[in-house]
Amino acid sequence: METTSKNRRITDREIYYFRQRQKNLIFQSVIAFFAQQAERYGLTKSAVADSLGKDRSQITRWLSGPGNWELDSISDFLLGMGAEMRHEIVSLNEPEIRTANVTTIHESEELAYMQGLRAVWVRLLEQACRELGIKDPAAAGARWISERERTVSALRTICADHGDNDWPDNLHLADVIEKHLGRHL
């Protein structure tokens, strides 16, 4: 991406894209670190909340997505985990600076993020099951999967008649209704 004051104007779409990208990159890093600490040392949302004097629900909101994270919130959350973030700025105008090592680092960061996010969601799901009184989360999960498969099958039938079926089975059902069915009704 070549953009300086001497080149073309950056579009609003590009600005929004890079804002979201930065939020997501920071979120990925923080979530991966939290999951790593939870796995290694048993760190919990409650422990972070207690150390910051905050309600546990605040930590849950921070972990649910980058949404409206502010620098202060990020700093607080990291401090609650006994950590701080190191920053690196990479030029978008000089791709030759990006070596194979940078690609490897990004791939390993992505893998760590996915593992961390998965671990966080598993812990949140386990907690939700406990709070709902579900004694056998595996059985409940099997029922949810079966119910989703029936729902996907029904949506495929409806989309064949009224919309389009050009969507993967793992697409979020709200997206199926909005993007593949709703626009045709």
- Are the C-beta atoms of residues 126 and 144 closer than 8 Å to each other? no
Report the pLDDT value the prediction gives residue 162, as an integer from 0 to 100. Answer: 76
Q: What is the pLDDT confidence band of residue 145, given thresholds at 50, 70 and 90? A: confident
Q: What is the pLDDT of residues 79-125, one digit of tens each?
A: 888 888 887 777 666 655 444 444 455 666 667 667 776 777 777 77
Token look-up 């059902």 returns 173
Residues belonging to the chain:
185
Taking 80 as the threshold, does the pLDDT of residue 56 lie above it? yes
Alpha-helical regions (H) of the chain: 12-41, 45-52, 56-64, 71-80, 100-131, 137-162, 173-175
Q: What is the pLDDT of residues 122-142, one digit of tens each?
A: 777 777 777 778 777 777 778
Q: What is the pLDDT confidence band of residue 18, given thresholds at 50, 70 and 90? A: confident
What are the domain boundaries of the chain? 1-134, 136-185
Q: Is the pTM of this model over 0.85?
A: no
CA gap 84, 77 in Å, rounded:
9
CA gap 20, 153 in Å, rounded:
34
